[in-house]
Structure 1
Amino acid sequence: MRVPKSLLTAALTTAVLTLGLPAAATTAAASPHHPGHVDVLFIGAHPDDEAGNLATFGQWKENQHVTTGVITVTRGEGGGNAVGPEEGPALGLIREAEERRAVGMAGITDVHNLDKVDFYYTVSAPLSATVWNEQQTLEKIVRLVREIQPKVIVTMNPSPFPGQHGNHQEAGHLAIDAFYAAADPTAFSSQLSKERLNTWRTARIFSAGGAGSGPAGPSCAATFVPTDPTAQIFGVWTGTQSPAHRKSWAQIQRDASRQYLTQGFGTQPPTVSTDPTQLGCETFTQIDSRVPYDPHSTATSAMLQGATQPAPGGLPLGTEFSLTTSTFQVSPGRPFTVTAHFSPLPHAKVSLTLPAGWTATTTGATTFTVTPPATAAVSTRATIGGTLTSGRTSGTTARAVAVTAAVTATQQLLPQVADFQAWATKTGVPQLLGFVKPVLTLASGGSRPVAISVTNNSTSVQSGTVTPQLPAGFTADVPSKPYGNLAPGATGTVTFAVRNSDPSLPTANRGGVGGDYDYPITTSSSGASDTAHAALELVPTTTIPQASSTPTVDGSAEPGEYPGATLDLSRRWEGDACTSAADCSGSAQVSWSNDALYFLVHVTDDTLGKQVDPTDCKRHWRTDSVEITLDPRGTSENTSTTFKSGIFPVTSGGPACFERDADNHQGPGSDTAPGMQVAAKISSPYNGYTLEVKIPLADLPAAVDPAHLGMNILIYDSDTQDLTGQTRLAWSPFGGVQGDPYRWGVATVDGYTAPPGRPITPTPPVIPATAASSLDSPQSILQSATIGVPLAGGPAAARSRSAQTAFLRKDTVTALLAPTGAGTAHIFVYDPTHGTLASTTIAVSGAGVRTVRLPVTPAKITAQTRVLVAFDAGTSGTTSSALRIFRT
């Protein structure tokens, strides 16, 4: 879980820096009495995103007395509900309550919801950024960081690896941006000038998880081997026993995880193994640090070094020490600059630790010139270590660089990967790049242009060749192509026409390695050749014929209705493996007639999952269902420009029903696809069902390109009665494929022409925009009133007190309000045991005393019952109050 010591100690330079002027200010120490202060802040997208880290946060609280808080961008309104029919804001408030119960088991009391909408599952960070109004959300997070002053931030992996939720990616982007922006006086400066906040320099930031492998057991932190040897990955063993709870933290985390009932977590086994060797580590990857720490440490508290506890070596807590480099990509034999940033200390000196053969000389008060040897291996990463010494105390840090060839090549990136690369470069975290393999999809038996970008990393003009060594079954128009006269720092492009010459190759996740047909790209230059790696993925293809007899949607096929090929839907993309074809398998046939597509889907299934009520015809993945996805132009970056329908073959009310989900216009089928028809036949005795579906092409967000219609058909199988699915099958199966249009199959609609005038540009998406509000959450209001941090990451209203007193007389609670201006008061009588006993919302036109009476059941009023008032002053902010209730 650390930078290998061999990389840091291979050679020690003799160059040393002596402190002149400080290169960085000392990290501010938050007052323990600062309102809402926590030591560690987790930033996620949804309730339950922190679930996999609660064993760590709980241990820190119990053993190091380190407090943790949580920022949750949404309340998860777009998720499933395994326990009831609630959706939208009502579901969001339920999920907030689940989250508070779960994190409370790890000693966490503060959960800040930002009130952004959880619109639906997407793998697109750019779409998430748009829907959430990225800058507004960032402003909220920066405000909270400046208010509660965390010393460590933990967030989600921001990388767009396949299947990674776009909301999770965007939460990671926002957290990392906030780490830097909160310390920048020019970022959201009105928070400093008008709201009287101060900049805040969080000491360290991590993403949850780490790429690598290692055995479970008490030594899992020490035996973990990172995939990237320069990655600074730390581990916390979950098998540590909690004296207070008398169980392992792995068990406490399982208990907590089972609180997320709406998401089906309650079906997890209630107990974990009691064998310590079977319990693993929670891992975390360091993104940046402003303070000294031990990169080799495997202690449970290693991530807290320099932040909440002194780093090894004795430097005072709050000391800053870090390294930056003039470039992340360094070249053999080419010097670059390393700058040391540190707090003012008596007689401070800095020395560097470099890989063998690297040299360094001092070039200024805080800088070194470092030169890799001309023989340094390219396409590798190297670690530069630093040691800050002051008298008898010292501290260490580390920074990675990438050793690159004079000229490098990269297969063209998917749009979401290119967006991530631009963000990481702009934000200054290039070390996060290079871990998402460049992948392009290709229709089985088809061809496509493949562009390869060529970058000159040297200081001289370069010329050479690019040679993609394609895997067996793929060919290019020519073996190699030249590039020439590429200026230093410039990027050019060479394009190959690539064809799948062997259409018998397996498609989707059955092809290559996990779906990837990997291949190297060799680029020559005047220096030496470089090899990059990329992959092609094959998606299945079919031809949709015109029906000679327009299908009647009745759940069965008649002659002439479906003359085309039968598509295999029995390939798994997520969930448990089918125990047999009788457990879960399927096939489909597709045809077209009169500007509509027709689908006949046969599903073999041994157990019918829970039947939803017709009024609950939504979130189809919870039980037995079929999903049909259509990308009309075959070019969508995310599903907001596609058509996706989830179809339940049977409901508790009898007939099949359908809805649209996570697409251009999510909602009830009758509203969003008025021409669509479905019919089902359920076998008796039950061994499966047949669905027949008509989808008018006019219901799609754009005219169909008959030569390149993106299409997938997915089966969701559930054998339970608790609305939790087990297995997911598809025609084109990849992990997370429901959100990845580029990985859907390709269909040719034979003989079809779209009607004149139908637009080829997709209509703007209709994205759900209604989120639960903290103003309507008694738990959020009580927290705000208790710790003094305004609701939802917003500003504080001018006056902090909007309520005066409350008393109970007979069956009525009377509250006296004293607002200082116009706004809206959200008022609750709330008891921790009984929940909301009464509530109302009133508009206030100006300052003055207001009397509000709320009828209650007196027997439910306890010593813990409070009148909660959240006063919303609009753009001026909010203020929250919690009033004891006096009996009269």
Structure 2
Amino acid sequence: MRIKAFLLPTALALALSGVPTAALASPASPTDAVDLDVLFVSAHPDDEAGSLATLGQWKERYGAKAGVVTITRGEGGGNAVGLEEGPPLGIIREREERTAIGKAGVENLYNLDRVDFWYTASAPLSEQIWGHDDTLAQIVRVIRQTRPEIIMTMNPSPTPGNHGNHQQAARFAAEAFQAAADPAAFPEQISKEKLKPFRAAKFLRSGGTGTSAAGPQCATSFVPTVPTDQVFGVWEGTPSATGKTWAAIEVDARREYVTQGWANSADAATDPTKIRCDFYTLIDSRVPYDPADTSPEAILRGSVLPNAAGGLPKGAELYLTTDRFDLAPGETVEVTAHVRAPRDRALAAPRIDLRLPQGWTAKGSGTLNSAVPAGKERTRKFTVTVPANSDTNQQQLIGATLTTRQGVGRTDRAVRVVADVRGTLEPLAEVGVFRQWAGEGGYPQLDTLIKPVLTVGSGQSRAVRIDLRNHGEAAQSGAVTLGLPAGFTADAATKSYTDLAPGATGTVTFNVTADASLPTANEGGTGGDYGITITTTSAAGSTVETGALEIVPTTEVPQAGHDHAVDGVASPGEYPGAELDFSRIWEGQATTPQDASAKGHIAWTADALKVYVQVTDDVLGTKVVPQDCKRQRRTDSVEIIVDPKGNSADTSTVFKAGIFPITDDPANGNPPCWQRDADNRQGPGATTAPGMTVVSKVTSPYAGYTIEASIPFSVLPDAVDPARMGFNVLVYDSDTQDLSSQSRLGWSTFNGVRADPYRYGLATLPGYTPAQQQPSAPVFPDTSARSVHSPQTIAQSAVDGVAPAAVAKLPEKALRLTDQRRVAGGVLVTLRADRTGTAYLYAWNGTTALGDRTVELTAGRPVTVVVPVASGRPSALLTAFESNGSALASKLPLS
């Protein structure tokens, strides 16, 4: 069987292929048009790419129908094959995504039309730009309309290198899992749109924190870092009906993302022992599950598929809630067991038995006095006591078994045992936001995803705050001891605290110094982390927490010599300061000094920073044309970053210049070009950094290049703090001609460092006095690709009933189209709306829009127009109609 045989069945396939059917002009109501089993919530096209082997297996083996929510169309990303950017690139990337996911049998794609502004590591910035309530409402609407039993997403935490858009998309997914089931959440969707609350069964994130071996046993070999994590694996080596492994099909799908430079993705492994699993971590479940089940369908059990023999009937719910997550030894926690019967049958003779860690005890009866009626919920409460001698700083599972005449089910809930007084390393700003979100949202166990870290400048000191919380029932006094690795010193080894009341918080602060001889950035410690311990004692005992310090490089920036000039040459005396090493690798393939390395200098004048970068390189990557002077990470280039006050939480308050040493512009001598990217103000250098000058010298024969830049202080987002300026130089090395870089080097180097200002190096500017300067407000891209401009989206919407961009759906009577027919030069149609709005019409041949027209409509006033067609024969007329924030799509076949 060819894979396409099951990729686009039913009316949706016909909608996208242009085949006329009677159903296309009048889709079903929004509550019964589409019924999904799995919904993957993502930020960009291609975010789901690593799960396509799983979704394809589930579709082929079990008929599980999946859909994807994509918050943006990725129009802020790179383009490896053309000059399109912004909304036109977004429409291209949507087409790539539809083709890619189609290889795994995924038909339904829901774009939310939020702007893809740039690469960021900040979830709060993503939330600010996308808008919390409106975006969440769109996702909730998709869930209520498509009713997926399983919701999947990405990692919601600010782990190093994790895209902030990905984090926020995952947080939206978590909130939507709960909100879609809550009648009080977005009640207008229920009262006005006639949707119904929907209780998805399971919520998972892609990936698992732990280790495993590749091969057919990868699911059973997985060992989670946190023992209470429930991680399920799906092996990609399973053969599909085509004879290819799902790993190979996933690679084929990845290659569809040509704009992202994935067209030449390496072939999948053919040795079964080298093929990996896709892993998924269970975050929440309303239905029972068996953590010992390692089959490919384990995640689907109890939701999409029936439970195993002897299990509860499909649709039965069993889950636990607790009144708190953190418990001190000797304390109690209230545990509530929730039992809900399937909509079509009662659960007879129900009894709940708790499963507790050794030594824990519980009070409360698990016997329900009567059957749980069909579709109804019953609860039982227990008081669970933690033994006074319990080990601290670890998570434990409280489990429950539900026994009924219809079958048996199991579930569990994680809690954390902590010392009466717990001392933890102060969180970075973004980590603090995440912890608050996770705790308030009911997912405090996600805190274990993040290793607490702080940065300190090489040879410098910083305050290290330890946050205290009394989880016990009595006031406590005690001490905190900070354990530091060799090369670090503190103003004291131990500091005390007194009279910390129950439930109260407090702090102790150490002044820590990092010796200048220690390796910096990701070359220091373990992957850049120098581990520390925090031992907190009280009358109730002691506990040890861990964290890490990361050392960023530092430099003293001198005033430039008297004969300084921006000429691509570091003349004697021009840069009096120390030479900086820009050769540390932070992502990609390992390099040799001849393959890719760099060094340079920095200095200041009264009005500008002077930066000199000398790059050794063996192969010159793609030369971009001047019109393509953007997204410097695609080929050989240098990125210069300045954080004026060394305290930015994200790159919206920094300056980032991407410089290409050479362009494909022979008529003008192949000059360099530069632009600002992912920072306070983005765009061409001449516009966004007036007065900045760049000189590049490329060696011949090619062995590298030299860049010298003068960056006026006036173009920075704020006045420089001479005692603490954040600074970094990153070097991108490409050895190909396909606009893809292979290695990334720099000065202060950590995974994802270009978006993490706290990990930039630190510079002082002795003698420099900054001019008065007001901080510049960030400028964000505000134009996204829109669903009403996407014939692909309209074709799908016309069939599955979810309005374009997942906004509220207009009633079918809002727009009537009649008399549609082909005429000379196009397609004639008469439109009549019952309200003022805008209609977007496309002459469609099944794969391409042959012509389009936009028409403004007034209530009750018919308009006859011709949609122009220059060439080709359209098979249908696609129409999107939007009015006052709501929309409707239709497809009319042309005979």
1:758 is aligned to 2:754: no
Q: Residue 11 of structure 2 corresponds to which residue in structure 1?
A: none
Q: Residue 641 of structure 2 corresponds to which residue in structure 1?
A: 629
CA offsets per residue over residues 169-212 of structure 1, 9 Å max, x none?
00010000000011111111111111111111111000000011
Q: Residue 784 of structure 1 corresponds to which residue in structure 2?
A: 797
CA distance in 2, matches of 1:32, 1:113: 17
What is the SS of the residue equivalent to 1:286? strand
Question: 1:785: Cα distance to partner?
Answer: 0.5
CA offsets per residue over residues 283-325 of structure 1, 9 Å max, x none?
0000100011112110111111111122233322111110111
What is the SS of the residue equivalent to 1:108? coil
Any residues of structure 2 matched to 1:56-67 within 5 Å, and which? 56-67=54-65
Question: 1:36: Cα distance to partner?
Answer: 2.2
Tell which deviates more after alignment, 640-649 or 314-323. 314-323
CA contact (8 A) 1:802 1:879 kept: no
Q: Residue 557 of structure 1 corresponds to which residue in structure 2?
A: 570
The equivalent position to 1:594 in structure 2, one of 606, 624, 644, is: 606
CA distance in 1, matches of 2:570, 2:57: 61
Question: 1:811: Cα distance to partner?
Answer: 3.4
What is the SS of the residue equivalent to 1:433? helix
Q: Residue 6 of structure 2 corresponds to which residue in structure 1?
A: none
RMSD over aligned Cα, in angstroms?
Answer: 1.5
After TM superposition, the score normalised by the length of structure 1 is: 0.94
CA contact (8 A) 2:337 2:381 kept: yes
1:884 is aligned to 2:893: yes
Question: 1:812: Cα distance to partner?
Answer: 2.3
Question: 1:32: Cα distance to partner?
Answer: 12
**Which AA in structure 1 matches 2:303?**
A
CA distance in 2, matches of 1:787, 1:847: 27
CA distance in 1, matches of 2:220, 2:599: 49
**Which AA in structure 1 matches 2:883?**
A
Q: Residue 25 of structure 2 corresponds to which residue in structure 1?
A: none
The equivalent position to 2:704 in structure 1, one of 688, 711, 715, is: 688
Q: Residue 346 of structure 1 corresponds to which residue in structure 2?
A: 348
CA distance in 2, matches of 1:160, 1:232: 21
Q: Residue 212 of structure 2 corresponds to which residue in structure 1?
A: 214
Question: 1:377: Cα distance to partner?
Answer: 1.3
CA distance in 2, matches of 1:527, 1:146: 49
CA distance in 2, matches of 1:826, 1:553: 52
Q: Percent same amino acid at aligned positions?
A: 52
What is the SS of the residue equivalent to 1:262? helix
Could you tell me which runs of 5 or more consecutive residues in structure 1 were left unpaired when the two chains were aligned: 1-29
CA contact (8 A) 2:30 2:801 kept: no
1:302 is aligned to 2:298: yes
CA contact (8 A) 1:363 1:369 kept: no
1:428 is aligned to 2:475: no
CA contact (8 A) 1:805 1:817 kept: no
Q: Residue 669 of structure 1 corresponds to which residue in structure 2?
A: 685
CA distance in 2, matches of 1:356, 1:151: 34
Q: Residue 449 of structure 1 corresponds to which residue in structure 2?
A: 463
CA offsets per residue over residues 347-395 of structure 1, 9 Å max, x none?
1111111222222221686011212222221111111221111125111
CA contact (8 A) 1:550 1:593 kept: no
What is the SS of the residue equivalent to 2:465? strand
Q: Residues 827 and 505 (structure 1 numbering): CA distance in 2 closer, same or farther, change over 3 Å? A: same
CA offsets per residue over residues 760-795 of structure 1, 9 Å max, x none?
xx3210011110000100000111011111011200
The equivalent position to 1:716 in structure 2, one of 729, 732, 735, is: 732
**Which AA in structure 2 matches 1:808?**
R
CA contact (8 A) 1:295 1:398 kept: no
Question: 1:492: Cα distance to partner?
Answer: 0.3
CA contact (8 A) 2:312 2:406 kept: no
Question: 1:832: Cα distance to partner?
Answer: 2.9
**Which AA in structure 2 matches 1:336?**
V
Q: Residue 804 of structure 1 corresponds to which residue in structure 2?
A: 818
Q: Residue 855 of structure 1 corresponds to which residue in structure 2?
A: 868
CA offsets per residue over residues 811-835 of structure 1, 9 Å max, x none?
32112222222111111112234x1
The equivalent position to 1:575 in structure 2, one of 557, 572, 588, is: 588
Q: Residue 672 of structure 2 corresponds to which residue in structure 1?
A: 656
Question: 1:515: Cα distance to partner?
Answer: 0.3
Q: Residue 331 of structure 1 corresponds to which residue in structure 2?
A: 328
Q: Residue 16 of structure 1 corresponds to which residue in structure 2?
A: none
Q: Residue 287 of structure 1 corresponds to which residue in structure 2?
A: 283
Q: Residue 18 of structure 1 corresponds to which residue in structure 2?
A: none
1:616 is aligned to 2:628: yes
Q: Residues 227 and 805 (structure 1 numbering): CA distance in 2 closer, same or farther, change over 3 Å? A: farther
* Runs of 4+ residues over 3 Å off in structure 1: 30-33, 798-802
CA distance in 2, matches of 1:475, 1:812: 78
The equivalent position to 2:417 in structure 1, one of 403, 406, 414, is: 403
1:391 is aligned to 2:402: no
CA contact (8 A) 2:30 2:800 kept: no
CA distance in 2, matches of 1:58, 1:548: 63
**Which AA in structure 2 matches 1:651?**
T
CA contact (8 A) 2:348 2:406 kept: no
What is the SS of the residue equivalent to 2:855? strand
Question: 1:803: Cα distance to partner?
Answer: 2.5
What is the SS of the residue equivalent to 1:506? coil
Question: 1:488: Cα distance to partner?
Answer: 0.7
1:825 is aligned to 2:834: no
Q: Residue 728 of structure 1 corresponds to which residue in structure 2?
A: 744
Q: Residue 20 of structure 2 corresponds to which residue in structure 1?
A: none
CA contact (8 A) 1:291 1:322 kept: yes
What is the SS of the residue equivalent to 1:524? strand
CA distance in 2, matches of 1:326, 1:338: 7
CA distance in 1, matches of 2:892, 2:791: 13
Question: 1:471: Cα distance to partner?
Answer: 1.3
Question: 1:558: Cα distance to partner?
Answer: 2.4
CA distance in 1, matches of 2:276, 2:549: 34
CA distance in 1, matches of 2:727, 2:870: 56
CA contact (8 A) 2:735 2:742 kept: yes
Question: 1:470: Cα distance to partner?
Answer: 1.2
CA distance in 2, matches of 1:548, 1:363: 82
What is the SS of the residue equivalent to 2:681? coil
Q: Residues 353 and 646 (structure 1 numbering): CA distance in 2 closer, same or farther, change over 3 Å? A: same
Q: Residue 703 of structure 1 corresponds to which residue in structure 2?
A: 719
CA distance in 2, matches of 1:36, 1:854: 30
**Which AA in structure 2 matches 1:758?**
Q
CA contact (8 A) 2:115 2:783 kept: yes
Q: Residue 202 of structure 1 corresponds to which residue in structure 2?
A: 200
What is the SS of the residue equivalent to 1:77? coil
Could you tell me which runs of 5 or more consecutive residues in structure 2 were left unpaired when the two chains were aligned: 1-27, 342-346, 369-379
1:151 is aligned to 2:149: yes
CA offsets per residue over residues 51-70 of structure 1, 9 Å max, x none?
00001100111111110000
CA contact (8 A) 2:556 2:765 kept: yes
The equivalent position to 2:876 in structure 1, one of 866, 872, 878, is: 866
Q: Residues 805 and 375 (structure 1 numbering): CA distance in 2 closer, same or farther, change over 3 Å? A: farther
**Which AA in structure 1 matches 2:817?**
A
CA contact (8 A) 1:710 1:747 kept: yes
What is the SS of the residue equivalent to 2:113? strand
Any residues of structure 2 matched to 1:89-168 within 5 Å, and which? 89-168=87-166
Tell which deviates more after alignment, 32-41 or 468-477. 32-41
Tell which deviates more after alignment, 774-783 or 795-804. 795-804
What is the SS of the residue equivalent to 1:846? coil
1:491 is aligned to 2:498: no
Q: Residue 361 of structure 2 corresponds to which residue in structure 1?
A: 359
CA contact (8 A) 1:803 1:869 kept: no
CA distance in 2, matches of 1:602, 1:804: 67
After TM superposition, the score normalised by the length of structure 2 is: 0.93
CA distance in 2, matches of 1:453, 1:623: 44
CA distance in 1, matches of 2:819, 2:280: 47
1:315 is aligned to 2:329: no
CA contact (8 A) 1:587 1:603 kept: yes
